[in-house]
Amino acid sequence: MNYDKIMKLALERGFFFPSGEVYADSTAGFWEYGPTGVSFKNKFIELWRRELVRKDRMMEIDGSQIMSQSVFEASGHLSSFADPIVKCQKCKSTYRADKLVAEIVKIEVPESIDTSEIDKIISEKNVVCPKCKGDFESTRRFNMMFKVGIGPESENAFLRPETCQSIFIDFPRLFKTMRGKLPIGIAQIGKSFRNEISPRQSLLRLREFYQAEIEVFCNPNKLNELDKFSAVENTELNLFINGNIQTVSCKKAIDENILPNKLVAYYLGLLAEFYQKTGIDMKKTRFRKLGEKEKAFYATAAFDFEVETSIGWLELVACNYRSDFDLKGHSNKSKEKFEVLDQDDKVLPHVFELSMGIDRSLYSILEHNFHEDEKNDRTFLSLKPYLSPIHVGVLSLVKKDGLAEKTNEIFSQIRIKYDAFLDHSGTIGRRYRRLDEIGTPLAITIDHQTLQDKTVTVRIRDSMNQERIKISEIDSFVAEATAFP
RNA sequence: GCGGAGUUAGUCCAGACUGGCAGGACGUCAGCUUCCCAAGCUGAAGGCCGCGGGUUCAAAUCCCGCACUCCGCACCA
């Protein structure tokens, strides 16, 4: 299975690996990026910045990872980001208490129900463990946020479960000082933390993970007044709604009322254009409209951008229309004003968010670009050159006759500007294979002819073809081949 | 959390049943072959056999606990 092959590649070639693996008490759900992975991740982030932040003239911030209790009281995470769970006394099976009770007793159970209410229903209706008929322990709430104690008095605070809360909180200051005008996107990249009960599958379900979040603040009365919509009107979206998949342009999605408004369609379009450029196979992607029960507690409309991998459909981006849920919550709690002027209207902006999982995206790109080339006895990653961890290998055909020295010299000329990798050892074919495995698009080889006429060969990863260029042309050649689109 | 299967070199795996020197392949490194696609030859490094405890003269091997990984279940704003 390709998942296993990607994992092996990741471990062997420095993409990512488990955190703290030399210690037996290292816990699941924490992974680290190695040199190859960091280089790849940095380039992915740069592409995100270019295609979303810069293209749409967003603001980018970098907020705290630890935030006080009030933040999460206002955001709803303290009460709603916790599931009521019950545990069987006998067989120790754990269940979602509200769901279990709803199913067995056939009654509606509100998500915010008090745990004592659930216990009452359980004892009154004699609800027992479906597996072993055992009795339950008392219902308790399992909050997925990591709690931390600040200072000597251990004041309550939490590691953020999503990066966006600081965007909401910072919004009034940013809007005023940075001369904001609706609609405006505020973006942030950083780590978020969730105490998953059962993390699985390496980068796909982590307890500590990277998010790239964009919160678009807008006037809810002007969701169809968006001049820039014309930029994406021909961009195609794979929309998966109520079990039907259809590929339509953004324009058609609006004209036929498939999407609720131009603002939503515009950002889904931008997102699709971004992923196109990551090298993900867009034929294996879809925007799935979430049903009422699947949506997050703050969302009024939600689309998940999903990608098909060897282990099934994977959610990469949650696109939620959060209405004024967050700004209203923070406004009530903090007594600060979050309304802003939009021309002459005083409005509490609504928010549409694009909440991207970076780690999952990186995995998906690797899997969609992984190839086993049996004819040439190699595996390679067909990564976009601008995302490749190494842009160019610099190799000496043989070490002697002054070729090694010349190779070092050429490497020194380009190694600051590009991610270049110097390699003298082993046979040339093996060195090309190694570069192929991490998706290096170019390899420059210095041979005997180099010393005579100041030319080198450039070997292209995908075709394995070679051409000869002048040393003086290396810079412009590599620059062009590895430029962002 | 539950059930099942696993964990031995960077990777994949043998050895375990029947306790007795820690092995193989690939990879890595150095050298040779004057060499443009994983060739060959020579040599080398790399392991507290997941962690902790127990039984034993002796434990990778038997027993107990824990952690992690994978597969199901449950969970996953």
Query: Which CATH number covers residue A122?
Result: 3.30.40.230
Where is pLDDT greater, at A133 or A239? A239
Residue A167, pLDDT > 90, answer yes
User: In the 8-state DSSP scheme, what is residue A420?
Assistant: E
Output the pLDDT for position A91. Answer: 58
DSSP E strand boundaries for A163-271:
184-193, 208-218, 236-241, 244-249
Joined tokens for residue A85: 């769970």
User: In the 8-state DSSP scheme, what is residue A351?
Assistant: E
Distance CA A127, CA A107 (A): 13
Residue A248, pLDDT > 80, answer yes
Say if A298 falls within a structural domain.
yes
**Nucleotide B11: closest residue by CA–C1':** A12
- Please tell me the total count of domains within chain A: 3
Output the pLDDT for position A133. Answer: 65
Residue A15, pLDDT > 70, answer yes
Where is pLDDT greater, at A140 or A393? A393
Question: Tens of pLDDT along A368-378?
Answer: 999 988 888 88
Residue A383, pLDDT > 80, answer yes
The verdict on A162 and A130 lying in the same domain is no
Output the pLDDT for position A173. Answer: 93
Segment A94-104 shows an average pLDDT of 70
Domain span at residue A199 reads 2-72+149-367
The verdict on A225 and A184 lying in the same domain is yes
The nucleotide lying nearest A7 (C-alpha to C1') is B11
Residue A12, pLDDT > 80, answer yes
**Nucleotide B37: closest residue by CA–C1':** A429
The verdict on A174 and A265 lying in the same domain is yes
Q: Which residues pair with A330 in a beta bridge?
A: none
A374 Cβ neighbours under 8 A, 6+ residues apart? none
The nucleotide lying nearest A111 (C-alpha to C1') is B77
Buried-exposed string A193-208: b where 16+ CB fall within 10 A, e elsewhere: bbeeeebeebbbbbbb
Output the pLDDT for position A130. Answer: 64
The verdict on A134 and A160 lying in the same domain is no
**Nucleotide B12: closest residue by CA–C1':** A8
**Nucleotide B2: closest residue by CA–C1':** A93
Among A143, A170, A195, which residue terminates a domain?
Answer: A143
Q: Protein A432 CA to nucleic acid B33 C1', in Å?
A: 20
The verdict on A101 and A187 lying in the same domain is no
The verdict on A392 and A361 lying in the same domain is no
Q: Protein A144 CA to nucleic acid B48 C1', in Å?
A: 37
The verdict on A221 and A287 lying in the same domain is yes
Strand B, nucleotides covered by protein (CB < 7 Å): 1-2, 10-12, 28-40, 50-51, 66-77
Residue A211, pLDDT > 70, answer yes
Residue A413, pLDDT > 90, answer yes
Residue A480, pLDDT > 80, answer yes
Output the pLDDT for position A111. Answer: 59
Q: Protein A185 CA to nucleic acid B33 C1', in Å?
A: 62
Q: Protein A141 CA to nucleic acid B3 C1', in Å?
A: 24
The nucleotide lying nearest A211 (C-alpha to C1') is B77
Burial of A24 (C-beta count, 10 Å sphere; 0-12/13-18/19+): exposed
Q: Protein A423 CA to nucleic acid B29 C1', in Å?
A: 13
Where is pLDDT greater, at A384 or A135? A384
Judged by average pLDDT, the poorest of A141-150, A188-197, A334-343, A352-361 is: A141-150
The verdict on A264 and A285 lying in the same domain is yes
Q: Which residues pair with A187 in a beta bridge?
A: A60, A214
Segment A177-184 shows an average pLDDT of 91
**Nucleotide B51: closest residue by CA–C1':** A24
Say if A373 falls within a structural domain.
no
Are A342 and A317 in contact, with CB atoms under 8 Å apart? Answer: no
The verdict on A61 and A160 lying in the same domain is yes
Proportion of chain A in helix, strand, coil states, percent, rounded to 5: 35, 30, 35
The verdict on A267 and A174 lying in the same domain is yes
Q: Which domain CATH number covers A286?
A: 3.30.930.10
The nucleotide lying nearest A81 (C-alpha to C1') is B77
Q: Protein A181 CA to nucleic acid B17 C1', in Å?
A: 75
| Edge-first strand listing for the sheet containing A66-68 | A66-68, A155-159, A147-150
Output the pLDDT for position A3. Answer: 84
Say if A372 falls within a structural domain.
no
Q: Protein A20 CA to nucleic acid B50 C1', in Å?
A: 13
**pLDDT band (50, 70, 90) for residue A52:** very high
Segment A164-192 shows an average pLDDT of 93
What's the mean per-residue pLDDT of chain A?
Answer: 88
Among A107, A125, A143, which residue terminates a domain?
Answer: A143
Output the pLDDT for position A351. Answer: 94
Q: Protein A126 CA to nucleic acid B65 C1', in Å?
A: 36
Q: Protein A421 CA to nucleic acid B25 C1', in Å?
A: 29
Judged by average pLDDT, the poorest of A157-166, A277-286, A395-404 is: A395-404
**Nucleotide B1: closest residue by CA–C1':** A94
